[in-house]
Amino acid sequence: MPELAEVEFFRKRWDQAAHGARILRVHTHDTKKLFRSAPAATLHAALTHATLTSSAAAAKQMLFGFVTAEKTQAWLGLHLGMTGELSVAPTTHVPRKHDHLVLFTDRQALVFSDPRMFGKIEFTVGPEAPGWWTKIAPALCSAPFTVATVADFLRRRGRAPIKAVLLMQERFPGIGNWMADELLWRAAIHPARLAGSLGPAEVRLLWRECRHVARLALTAIAGRGKKLPPDLNVNIPDSWLFNHRWQKGGLCPITKKPLARAEIGGRTSCWSPARQKLGARPSSAVLSRKRPRAAVLS
């Protein structure tokens, strides 16, 4: 479920419920698989009587900062995998089978659940945020995410389908299956096109749609400012591919023609054949085209 914007939605949900609150009790469902950098017992010891002081989301991860009872900093990193989610429940909440981590304050229970357990629970103690967090690639909406870095990355991954390349977190942090399809659809680029075959104008368009879709998705799904929508996806307009991509007989909201689905780059992809074409472009020396053209002057 969770990509960039859903992750921000979940972060906000916990933050809204418990920012500044003190953890009274910790419940863990110990499946060693999820607890990566520290065993569940360490979380119990450090987080009981700790205060939640900060939270942030980047790519598909979240980092919650705490101050422990001993006044030291502690960091809880969460990755939601394929099926993870964060919810807020009453303090009477009885942890269910897949509630792997529950933090109880005096008024709420913060619940992390993940049936398939592809997620991660990272925990470290110390003044600095953990290394995996600071190494996350520059956000899609940030200044360092430039068209040049995208062009360079696409050149290096030139033989892979663009769809597969967009899923690579080292350059496109937070993009997942639906966001990749959504922005390719907006950019009118077929998901199976090889990354290296995109011309400069297409690369620029793709880069712009990365930022655009990231911004739109964050607003629609996680809300603006302090506001949080009642649930995921309730504010996603029908003008997006999102609301049509899984429907049987779904139609492209722009062309009104049928959508197509196939496995591309190892994932089921959805696109609008009437809008996103393979080949049939000036297929000549698109690969290494240089700018200079001084000769035209005279």
Partner DNA sequence: AGACATGTTGCTCA
Partner DNA sequence: ATGAGCAACATGTC
> Does 156 help bind DNA (rule: CB under 7 A)?
yes
Task: Give the distance from CA 261 to its chain's centroid.
Answer: 22
> Does 159 help bind DNA (rule: CB under 7 A)?
yes
> Does 118 help bind DNA (rule: CB under 7 A)?
yes
Residue 256 identity (one-letter amino acid) = K
Instruction: Pull the structure tokens for residue 60.
Output: 């598909």
> Does 266 help bind DNA (rule: CB under 7 A)?
yes
> Does 81 help bind DNA (rule: CB under 7 A)?
yes
Q: What would the x/- binding string for DNA be over residues 6 to 45, using CB under 7 A?
A: x------------------------x-x------------
Q: Of 83, 50, 58, which Cα lies nearest the Cα of 4? A: 58
Q: Given candidates 13, 79, 244, 275, which one binds DNA under the rule CB under 7 A?
A: 79
Using the contact rule CB under 7 A, the part of the chain among 143-151, 170-178, 275-283, 288-296 near DNA is 170-178
In contact, 90 and 11? CB cutoff 8 Å: no
> Does 191 help bind DNA (rule: CB under 7 A)?
no
Which contiguous run of DSSP H or E holds residue 61?
strand 61-67
> Does 105 help bind DNA (rule: CB under 7 A)?
no
**Smallest distance, DNA to C-beta of residue 78, A:** 12
- Taking the least distance from each CB to DNA, the nearer of 107 and 159 is 159
- Taking the least distance from each CB to DNA, the nearer of 81 and 273 is 81
**Smallest distance, DNA to C-beta of residue 266, A:** 5
> Does 267 help bind DNA (rule: CB under 7 A)?
yes
Say how many C-beta atoms besides its own lie within 10 A of residue 43's C-beta.
20
- Taking the least distance from each CB to DNA, the nearer of 37 and 54 is 37
Q: Given candidates 55, 108, 177, 276, which one binds DNA under the rule CB under 7 A?
A: 177
In contact, 29 and 112? CB cutoff 8 Å: no
In contact, 93 and 106? CB cutoff 8 Å: no
Sheet containing strand 51-58, edge to edge, reads 51-58, 61-67, 73-79, 120-125
Q: What would the x/- binding string for DNA be over residues 45 to 64, using CB under 7 A?
A: --------------xx----
Backbone angles phi, psi at 14, to 5 degrees: -65, -45
For strand 267-271 and strand 109-113, is the pairing parallel, antiparallel, or unpaired? unpaired
Write down the H helix ranges in the chain.
4-18, 40-47, 131-134, 147-156, 162-166, 177-186, 200-217
> Does 167 help bind DNA (rule: CB under 7 A)?
yes
Interatomic CA distance for residues 102 and 29, integer angstroms: 9
> Does 1 help bind DNA (rule: CB under 7 A)?
yes
**Footprint on this chain of DNA (rule: CB under 7 A):** 1-3, 6, 31, 33, 59-60, 79, 81-83, 97-98, 115-118, 156-161, 164, 167, 169, 176-178, 195, 232-233, 246, 265-268
